C-alpha cells in the first residue's frame, strides 16, 4: 500500500464525519478506557466511537476509519520516573504512578484499500 510513496510529504490531516464531510482540523482525541469498556458491555453498536480522518498524501485523500485501541497500553502499566536529588540516593528520587485512564491510541483501516491496516496516536496530532 505504501510502496509507491516516493519521499516525504507535508501532511495536513483533517477530521471528517463518517460520510467524509469536513469536521475539524483539531486532531487530539482522548477517550477514557474505563468508560469505553463499560459502553462496550452495554451496546453492540460501536459506530458512535469511530473516528474518521482524511490523510492527504501521494496525490490522493485517504479516508482512515479508526476505533479506540484500548488494549494498546496495559491498564496495569506502572510509570517510573527519576526526580532531582542526590545521585548517591537513587531510591529517594524514584517515583511510581499508574498509567492514565485517558488514552489516545487508535487502529483501523483505510477505506477503499482491501487488507489495509492503520495504527495512529491522536495524543498531540497524528
Q: Does residue 96 lie in a domain region?
A: yes
Taking only the tens place, the pLDDT of each residue in 74-126 is 888 999 988 776 666 667 778 899 988 899 999 999 999 999 999 999 998 88
CA distance 126 to 121: 6
Q: Does residue 126 lie in a domain region?
A: no
Q: Does residue 9 lie in a domain region?
A: no
Total domain count, the chain: 1
Mean pLDDT for 47-62 is 88
Q: Does residue 2 lie in a domain region?
A: no
Q: Does residue 69 lie in a domain region?
A: yes
Taking only the tens place, the pLDDT of each residue in 107-120 is 999 999 999 999 99
Q: Does residue 60 lie in a domain region?
A: yes
CA distance 42 to 64: 26
Residue 26: give the domain boundaries: 14-121
Taking only the tens place, the pLDDT of each residue in 12-27 is 999 999 999 999 999 9
Nearest Cα neighbor of 67 from 16, 13, 125, 119 is: 119
CA 1, 112, 108, 23 torsion-angle sign: positive
Amino acid at each position: 500500500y505504501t510502496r509507491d510513496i516516493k519521499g516525504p510529504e507535508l501532511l495536513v490531516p483533517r477530521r471528517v464525519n463518517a460520510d467524509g464531510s469536513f469536521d475539524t482540523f483539531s486532531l487530539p482525541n482522548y477517550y477514557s478506557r474505563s468508560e469505553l469498556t463499560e459502553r462496550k458491555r452495554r451496546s453492540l453498536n460501536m459506530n458512535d466511537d469511530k473516528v474518521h480522518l482524511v490523510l492527504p498524501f501521494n496525490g490522493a485523500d485517504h479516508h482512515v476509519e479508526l476505533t479506540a485501541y484500548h488494549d494498546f497500553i496495559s491498564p496495569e502499566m506502572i510509570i517510573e520516573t527519576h526526580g532531582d536529588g542526590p545521585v548517591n540516593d537513587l531510591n529517594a528520587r524514584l517515583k511510581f504512578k499508574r498509567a492514565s485512564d485517558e488514552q489516545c491510541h487508535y487502529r483501523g483501516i483505510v477505506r477503499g484499500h482491501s487488507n489495509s491496516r492503520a495504527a495512529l496516536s491522536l495524543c498531540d496530532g497524528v
